[in-house]
Structures are given as structure tokens and as C-alpha cells.
Amino acid sequence: MRRFATVIGILTAVLGSVPACVSDQVEDGADDGFPSGKADGGFDEGSPEALGVLSLVNDPSIAALELRSAAGITSRVATNIVTRRDGADGVPGTADDNNFDTLAELDAVPYVGPATLNALVECARDRGLVRGAAKIEVVFSPQPAAQSHNARIAQMIRDARFTVDIAMYSYSDAGINAAIADAVTRGVKVRFLFDTAREDKNQVDPAVRAATKSGRLEAMGVDVRYVNKILHHKFALVDGPRDDKARAATAKIVTGSANWSNSAATVFDENTLFIEGSAKLTASYQQEFDLLWKGSRDFVGPAPVQALSTANIDASQVPEEAGLAVLLTRLNFTPTGSDGTTWSANKDKLVVSDQFVAAINRAETSIHVGSGHLRLRPVAEALVARKQANPALDIKVYLDQQEFISASGDAFQRDRVETCIASATTPAAVRDCSYNNFLFSKALVDAGIDVRFKSYAYRWDHSYAPQMHSKYVIIDSKELLSGSYNLSMNAEHATFENALHASGPQFEPLLAAFEQNFTTMWNTSRAGTELAALREQIATASSIPLVFPSIALTYAEFDSLRALIRQHCPLADSTEYRSAPAAHRFCPRS
């Protein structure tokens, strides 16, 4: 990779100093080029300095006069740069603009050389365009609506200047909806990969179709598309490098476990990450969006069709950032069909699961898992193996009550797998038997692993479930894996998912926040006599609660609680109660 060396020492000797964003008239020879090689103090294409400079010179709001005075370069240099950028018509923001994609392109402009480069770097730095380590903040749910991830996302979109790219499983927040409408009105280009559009497209009646969520987005001017698999992503890029690579340094990213809904904000346990200043992560999420957009299908509506990204960002060409990576299930899939919009899974690949297992195997002191589901055999088996190898290892797993399975249910699912394998005739069939929808909570308990469930009802139902919906693993309080990715085989082979992998001392505050969140969830309603009071209510009250305030229970505690409910409410397992749980939140004592 070419590196452009800074020459501050030379300039100091010749010019005295190079002030940032002042009026010294810096200029190079007509054909001077940036030094290359591995000189001390140099920086690479794609580095924060390079991206900051490109963001500065590509900004269409900066005319030659402002660039001259801001960077302290000559009028000739500033005019040459802006003339090249604005294209033949000399007007910024038009179709013939010719933005600088690399420092090499900037180097080719007459009278731009090392002195000009350093002046531009310092100006970009002073304007906050040269970013250091990524800034990652987390918002945990539940929160009051005004402090929730939804409110912050709405503000991000309201602050957008150029583009918004959204990949979303489920969305219903009115504030975000208003922010999107406002962005489109201001001329911001919004693309929306929306899982709900897979169903909305099936509405035949034009009026009904227009009234769907996808139809209403299209009516705003948002281009909506969908993929043929489940799109479980929950991320957005604001002012990303869709059409300008330099924006990788300044884009804003949101990703995490939470959908954009009131329940996700104010009821469920969730986590949402807000990321700035990471060219690598921005490039990774932009490339993911671009590839899915290319392999998507149009929800036909009134919004103008938006083309593929023109910057063609390639995350592999952006310098690595220590301790950061994005894990993507898309790497298990291949686009097929004549138009490349049918995605097929390779079930022999487990690209995200493999990284979770590797992290678990690195654990020395602790593994804390907070996840709505645990139905991923490689991860479950890795946890059991680590516990067996090191019984002192602190492994705690906090799950939604959906993951509880009775002893008889566990025996049944084990028999089912064994029967399936016995009749399998190919390695692929054996694999599929092992990768079925298996609940591993009892297997973990039997292995001596501490497991608790967010418990809130005798029988789970979406209508009243305040779900444990976060999805993260913390290793040794030093390593975090978190995103939309459920710990399930379905997530690996049937859905598009992402998980952020962050580690290193620069992310200690982030890891500490997740550890605190885990501790809070692990101890939900366990400070006093909450469980004893609930059991007393079930045993004596005239109306027996089948839905109750959330409490973190061990396997034995939840199993015993359910048995107590059955004892005092035999109707709990009746056909009537099973078929309509939302209508039976209490059971009259007979």
C-alpha cells in the first residue's frame, strides 16, 4: 500500500511553521508529488488523515476562496483543486462532479505536493475531519421514550446531509418516521432494505398496498427493497460513503439488537450501538448494504428508483482498526438466479458462529452471555466444553423464558435428533439433524453452568412478553460480540445478520457498560422477597397470575414456579388456555 510521508520537519526549516487553517500561502511546484515509502510520520491511503483530507476537498459547500483561506494555500492551488472536483460545468453537486477518491488523484493536481498536503491535513484535523479511535456508545433498553435509542436515531436522521441507508427487520416508531420524511424533504437520499416489504408486496389491492408500511415509505420518496431471505439486520448509515469514499471517516452508524419500535425502546431488554469515527466499520457496513441492495428486489412504488452506490467501497482496502471487526452471516450466502437476487445458503459454513466459538475458547476468567435465544449447537457445546475443562471459569447465561425446556421436552428433542441421525444417509443429512431447532438451556444446566431466565409468564406469548431481546457475549470483560445475531442456527443459515466484535483497552468503558447491564439483568427482581411473594400469591389469591412482573429465575426456580401454577390452576394446560394465552392472563381459583 502506498504511504504518503509528511514533511513537517522540512517545512518548519523552510517556512518556520505550518499553521492550521490560516492564511500563509502554501504552494508546491507544478509537478511536485507526495513522497512515498515507509517514511516516519507517513500515512496510508485510507488512513484517518487521508480520509480527512478527502472529506475536506470533496465538500461541495467549500468554494476555492474558502479553501484558500482555511487551509492557507494559494489561490492557484485552491482553484485547481475545486475546478477538478466540480467538473466541466464548474458547479458543485451536479452530475459531472469528479470527487477525489484517493490521495494519488489529489497529488495529480498541478501545484499540489507535500507542502499542500500537510496544510490540508492540518486544516482537516482542525475541522474535526481526522478521527482517531472509533467512538462507540451504547443505549440499553428499556428506557423512557425520550432517552431511548429511537429518539437518538431520529436525531441522527434529522442531522443527515447527504444519504441515509437503512437495513431493518421491523420498524414502527413515529419519531423516526417523521425524521425520515423530513430528510427526504431536505433532499437527503434514503434507501431502505426492509424485511416487512417481503409481505407488503403481496397485497394485490392498490389501496391496501399503498397503506402498508412499505407503501407509506415509498409515498415519502424512500426507495424500498427486500431480499428473498429474512433480513434481520438493524443498522443504518448516515452520510456514509455511498457516493464518496471520504465520508467513511465521518459517517455515523447505528446497529444492535433493537428494532425501531416502542416495545424495543421502553419494554424489552435491548442494546443499541452508536458508532462514529471508524472508517473500517463504516466501510464494512456500507459494503454489506451495497451488496444486499444489489441482490434485492424492488418494492414497486412511487419513489424514484435509487441506483447502486457509486463509490464501490471495498472494506478490505480500508486499513484495519485495532480491536474492531464486523461479523456477517452474508458470507454464508451466494447470490444466484439470472439477476442475482436469489440468495442461497452454504450450510457447511458457519462464519459468525466460528468467531463466537473462538472467543469462548479464549476465555480465561469469565463468559457472560445475554441472549434472547440459545439454539446454536457449536456455541452451546463450546460453553459446555470450557466449563468441563475449567470448572472455576465463571460462565453465566441469561436467556428469555422462551428458551426454557422441561425435562420431558428435553428428552423428546434428544430422541428426535438421535432418530433423525439414525435414518440419515448422507453427511449433509446428519448435519441437518444436528442443526435443527434445539433448545440448549437444560444441557447447559446439566453441565453445571449458571443459567437464569427472564421469567414473566406461565406460557410465552408475544402480546404480553417483555422480552429479553439483547444478543451479546462478553469474554473476560475484555472482548464483546454483539449485534442482531441470535445464537441460533436459523440466524446463521436463514437470515442476514451482523455482530460487532470489539476488544482492547480502548473499549474498556464500553465493556464495563455491558458488564453492568448484564449484572442488572442477572439480578432482575432478586433483591428481596419477590419470588416468595409471587409464590404466595399463586398459592392463596382468588385470581392466580399467569402473567407476572419479570424476575430472573434459575432453571429449578422457574420449573418449580410452573409446577405450582399447574397445581393451583389445572386449566393452565387446557386447550382453551393454550390456544388463547393473551385472553387468559389470570386463572380463577376453583
Write the burial class of residue 505 (CB in 10 Å: 0-12 exposed, 13-18 middle, 19+ buried).
exposed
Instruction: Kindly report the backbone phi and psi dihedral angles of residue 149, in degrees, each rounded to the nearest multiple of 5, phi listed first.
Output: -60, -35
| 43 pLDDT tier (thresholds 50, 70, 90) | low
The CATH code for residues 323-404+439-590 is 3.30.870.10
Q: Distances in Å between the alpha carbon of 159 and those of 74, 261, 453?
A: 33, 21, 39
| 476 pLDDT tier (thresholds 50, 70, 90) | very high
DSSP strand pairing (189-194 vs 586-588): unpaired
| 36 pLDDT tier (thresholds 50, 70, 90) | low
Q: What is the pLDDT of residue 35?
A: 66
| 31 pLDDT tier (thresholds 50, 70, 90) | confident
Helices 174-185 and 149-158 sit at what angle, rounded to 10 degrees? Answer: 10
Closest CA to 564 of 584, 545, 579: 545
DSSP string over 229-240: SEE--EEEEES-
Q: What is the mean pLDDT of residues 32-54?
A: 65
Closest CA to 42 of 18, 66, 9: 9
Examine domains 135-321 and 323-404+439-590 and report if their fold is the same. yes
Report the helix count and the strand count for the chain, using DSSP H and E. Answer: 23, 26
Closest CA to 372 of 261, 519, 462, 487: 487
* Tens digit of each residue's pLDDT (9 = 90 or more) over 379-416: 999 999 999 999 999 999 999 999 999 999 999 999 99
* Tens digit of each residue's pLDDT (9 = 90 or more) over 215-272: 999 999 999 999 999 999 999 999 999 999 989 989 999 999 999 999 999 999 999 9
| C-alpha–C-alpha distance, residues 531 and 401, integer Å | 16
Question: Is the pLDDT at 283 greater than 50, yes or no?
Answer: yes
* Tens digit of each residue's pLDDT (9 = 90 or more) over 63-91: 999 999 999 999 999 999 999 999 999 99
Q: What is the pLDDT of residue 505?
A: 84
| C-alpha–C-alpha distance, residues 185 and 179, integer Å | 10
Degrees (nearest 5) of the Cα angle 472, 476, 480? 30
* Tens digit of each residue's pLDDT (9 = 90 or more) over 183-218: 999 999 999 999 999 999 999 999 999 999 999 999
Write the burial class of residue 60 (CB in 10 Å: 0-12 exposed, 13-18 middle, 19+ buried).
middle
The alpha helices in 171-298, defined as continuous H runs, are 174-185, 197-200, 206-211, 213-220, 262-266, 279-294
The CATH code for residues 135-321 is 3.30.870.10
Q: What is the pLDDT of residue 22?
A: 44
* Tens digit of each residue's pLDDT (9 = 90 or more) over 488-540: 999 999 999 999 999 988 899 999 999 999 999 999 999 999 999 999 999 99
| 114 pLDDT tier (thresholds 50, 70, 90) | confident
Between these two residues, 11 and 383, which has the higher pLDDT value? 383
Closest CA to 160 of 50, 266, 279, 254: 254
DSSP strand pairing (374-375 vs 487-488): parallel
Question: Is the pLDDT at 40 greater than 50, yes or no?
Answer: no
Percentage of residues of the chain with pLDDT beyond 70:
94
Question: Is the pLDDT at 130 greater than 80, yes or no?
Answer: no
Question: Is the pLDDT at 7 greater than 80, yes or no?
Answer: no
pTM: 0.82
Q: What is the mean pLDDT of residues 295-323?
A: 93
Question: Is the pLDDT at 37 greater than 80, yes or no?
Answer: no
Q: What is the pLDDT of residue 146?
A: 97
- Each domain of the chain, given as residue ranges in start order, spans 3-126, 135-321, 323-404+439-590
Residues in the chain: 590
Average pLDDT of the residues of the chain: 92
Instruction: Kindly report the backbone phi and psi dihedral angles of residue 81, in degrees, each rounded to the nearest multiple of 5, phi listed first.
Output: -65, -50
